[in-house]
Amino acid sequence: MGIFDKLKGEFIDVIEYTDDSLSGLVHRFERHGNEIKNGAQLTVRESQHAIFVNEGEMGDAFKPGRYELTTKNIPILTTLKSWKYGLNSPFKAEVYFVNTKIFTGLTWGTKNPIMLRDPEFRQVQVRAFGTYSIRVADPAKLVKEVSGTASSFDIENVEDQLRSLLISEFTDALAEMNIPVLDVARNYKELGAKIQGFVNEEFGKFGLEINKFIIENISLPANLQKFLDEDTGAAMVRDVNKVNQMKMGDAMLNASQNEGAGGVMGMGMGAGMGMAMGQQMGGMNNQQQNTNPPPIPGGVAYFVAVNGQQQGPFNMDQLRAAIGNGQITRDSLIWKNGMASWVKASENPETAGLFGSVPPPLPPQ
């Protein structure tokens, strides 16, 4: 060793470390022969801890601040070195700087699907992924149990092990909570909090803790997802049918209460719309019902074109009353099941006689 190297080791009086990386966990302060001069200045920055190690034994630890190293503020090393009368010469010790900031944006995900029991689908395979953040909770334990004597130790050195531990705990927690797969999405927060508690018990053994655990997605198998999408579409159709039924009910009520419809005619229209509504509610919703209307039980059922709208069905008594009120004329178009097309009421043999049975209007007085 040259004289200048010797002097360099003896006159090191500033101990500090700045980390420009984003992933450094532990860094060992490098100096010649590990010699630290008595009275040296130690600077520990925010989100750092400094730990002194003497011949493999954990020594003093320092939180953020500026310190002048003497036997008074390094009592553990003073005891280990047996400095009974103070320290006047350089002493040897390793100094490790531990980064205690929060490491964010770490990702996790299941490589293989997780098998779950489900009350509705029996057994379901799911996949999941998300993010998490960690920090050093116990710097001394991290140096002792994980980084060891490495000159530098980054988050990448332990990330795979942490991820495997996360997946294992996630699988156990998901099975233990016994949540149906269709309800998992609305329990992400509760599930994440529970998993965070489980994992921190294991991470604590390494001096680490999870600051936040986020579940971004739990996906279902493609075939089950397709089934659910189709079922959702069918449910939307059923909802549309319910809306249509409500509209038909309102129209029926309005028709039956319409004074301008001439009483009997309005009742006939309401009865016809009521039958159509009953047809839909009975599971016979057919888009072609206007061309294939059901007959009225026990009688002939005719449909009448009124102002370009199909009304009915009406039996013969209702038609007679409507003709008497002048709501149906000889030129009104009518139709019933079995007829090829709409015809004038006066040209249909069954209805033509109705006009002869209706008395003409009274002459003016």
pLDDT tens column, 135-156: 999 999 999 888 877 888 898 8
48 vs 121: which has the higher pLDDT: 48
262 burial class (0-12, 13-18, 19+ CB within 10 angstroms)?
middle
Mean pLDDT lowest for which of 32-36, 106-110, 272-276?
A: 272-276
Q: In the predicted model, is pLDDT for residue 50 greater than 60?
A: yes
The predicted pLDDT at position 241 comes to 53
Locate 20 and state its tokens.
């420009």
Instruction: Give the span between the Cα atoms of 311 and 339, in whole angstroms.
Output: 16
Give the residue with greater pLDDT, 297 vs 107: 107
Best mean pLDDT range from 88-97, 165-174, 295-304, 351-360 = 165-174
Confidence of residue 76 (pLDDT cuts 50, 70, 90): confident
| pLDDT, average across residues 231-259 | 57
To which H or E segment does residue 213 belong?
strand 208-219
Query: Per-residue pLDDT averaged across 63-88, rounded?
Result: 77
Query: pLDDT exceeding 90 applies to what percent of the chain?
Result: 15
pLDDT digits (tens, 9 = 90+) for 30-39: 876 667 777 8
Q: Are 136 and 207 in contact (CB under 8 A)?
A: yes
Residue 10 has pLDDT above 80, yes or no: no
**Position 131 confidence tier, pLDDT thresholds 50, 70, 90:** very high
* Residue 24 contacts residue 154 (beta carbons within 8 Å): yes
List the 14-15 sheet strands across, edge first.
14-15, 41-44, 65-68
User: Residue 120, exposed/middle/buried by CB under 10 A (0-12, 13-18, 19+)?
Assistant: exposed
19 and 151 Cβ atoms separated by less than 8 Å: no
Yes or no: say if 248 and 273 are a contact pair by the CB < 8 Å rule.
yes
Mean per-residue pLDDT for 315-326?
A: 84
Residue 60 clears pLDDT 50, i.e. is over it: yes
Half-sphere exposure of residue 133: CA atoms within 13 angstroms, side-chain side: 8
Looking at residue 254, its pLDDT comes to 63
User: If you average pLDDT over residues 190-200, what whole number do you get?
Assistant: 85
Which residues are registered as beta bridge partners of 124?
Answer: 116
Task: Report yes or no on whether pTM surpasses 0.75.
Answer: no
**284-321 b/e (C-beta count within 10 Å ≥ 16 → b):** eeeeeeeeebeebeeeebbbbebeeebbbbbbbebbbb
Count the residues in the chain: 365
In whole angstroms, what is the distance from residue 39 CA to residue 90 CA? 9
Name which residue leads in pLDDT, 273 or 46: 46
Rounded CA separation 81/91 (Å): 9
- Pairwise CA distance, residues 131 & 134, whole Å: 10
Residue pointed to by tokens 């059923």: 238
pLDDT score of 288: 41
Give me the helices (H) in the chain, please.
3-10, 75-81, 139-142, 156-177, 188-203, 222-256, 264-281, 316-324, 349-357
Where are the domains positioned within the chain? Answer: 3-99, 103-220, 225-357
Query: What pLDDT sits at residue 84?
Result: 57
- Listed in sequence order, the residues at least 6 apart from 73 whose beta carbon sits closer than 8 Å to its beta carbon are 60, 67
Q: What is the DSSP string of 19-63?
A: --SSSEEEEEPP-GGGEE-TT-EEEE-TTEEEEEEETTEEEEEE-
CATH number of 103-220: 3.30.479.30
**Is the Cα dihedral 242, 244, 250, 253 positive or negative?**
negative
Instruction: Give DSSP secondary structure letters for 105-140.
Output: EEEEE-SSPEEEEETTTEEEEEEEEEEEEEEES-HH
Collapse the DSSP code of 289 into the 3-class scheme (helix H, G, I; strand E, B; otherwise coil) and give the result: coil
Which pLDDT value is given to residue 250? 61
Q: How confident is the model at residue 107 (pLDDT cuts 50, 70, 90)?
A: very high
Report which of residues 277 and 157 the model is more confident about.
Answer: 157
| Three-state secondary-structure class, residue 254 | helix
For the ranges 53-67, 135-149, 231-245, 279-293, the lowest mean pLDDT is seen at 279-293
